[in-house]
Copies of this chain bind each other. A is one copy, B any other.
Amino acid sequence: MIHTFNPQLYYHTMGSHPPVLTVHDGDTVITSTVDARGWDQNGESAADRGNPMTGPFYVEGAMPGDTLAIRFESITPNREWAWTTNMLAPAVIDPAVAATLPASEIVHWTVDVAQGVAYLKEPTPGLAQLKLPLRPFLGCFGVAPSKGQFISTATSGEYGGNMDYKGLVAGTTVYFPVSAEGALFYLGDGHALQGDGEIIGTGLEISMDVRFTVSVQKGKTISWPRGETDTFWFCIGNARPLDQALQHATTEMLRLLQEDCGLTSSEASLLMGQAVEYEIANMFNPAYSVVCKLPKAVLAALV
């Protein structure tokens, strides 16, 4: 079944808020998200700032201990401009240099979805020719956290949240550990484009039209978000500092190889040691995010 859902209210925490819609395993949802400051497709303020979320969607049958799969079929900017900040975040720069940088300001970009590019609305001399290809994704999405918590959409954890991973584009399937009845899926914080690390604190912040399909893996238990594209399996760890985020992601990949592929810890180590790739998703939010990836081609060769 395909649901078209037009959001009327937005939450700034993930938790067991009243569901806005109940969906079933295999259902598809067509909806939209406002940007990180709550501006919608018409540039009007539809919600307070701070990653307002569309949802939660209650997934029938999803229970704690299960896994919720979200396949993003499309993530498309639904307006022609985005905003960013314009200064490197202190956390990514040597402290002595960070102290010399000016304060960050808001800058506007033109987003040309038809051409698939973005450029500064008022280009400065050094960036007069800058034109970057779009790569739209959602910065913040996930499920209700464990233990009855309601956690700000500024941060992230085992339940997903504000991971700002540029790899989470259309075509990707993401898996979450379910901690609350119905899983309670939230989404928002669209970025038309972003580099690794979200190192200026934003991507190209924009409202989105989104289409996704849910499925429930009963009795499948995972500890951190996992995902797959056509070419990679990946696991996401969210924590501070980067070391710990990487530990979570790597440990989850070890579990994947042991539990899903039947490797021993030594076999998994030999494989990961020579074939693993990492991405630094964000080093800006209260929890940083690191992604541990393995090529599907390598895993396919194991069988």
A residues in contact (CB < 8 Å) with B: 12-13, 15, 50, 84-99, 101-102, 104-105, 107, 118, 120, 124, 126-127, 129-132, 146-152, 154, 193-200, 202-204, 239-244, 246-248, 250-251, 254, 261-280, 283, 298, 301-303
**Copies per complex?**
4
Question: Closest B-chain residue to A101, C-beta based?
Answer: B265
Establish whether residues B127 and A274, one from each chain, have CB atoms under 8 Å apart when the complex forms: no
A267-B302 contact given A97-B254, A99-B101, A277-B195, CB 8 Å threshold: no
Chain B contacts of A266 at CB under 8 A?
86-87, 102, 105, 124
Whether A127 touches B272, Cβ cut-off 8 Å, given contacts A90-B98, A243-B241, A246-B242, is no
The smallest C-beta distance from A111 to any residue of chain B, in angstroms, reads: 12
User: Contacts A126-B264, A269-B87 known; A276 to B197 CB distance under 8 Å?
Assistant: yes
Give the 8 A-B CB pairs with smallest separation, nearest first: A90-B95, A200-B273, A242-B242, A195-B276, A126-B267, A150-B150, A94-B251, A278-B280
Q: A99-B98, A241-B243 are in contact. Are A200 and B283 (CB under 8 A)?
A: no
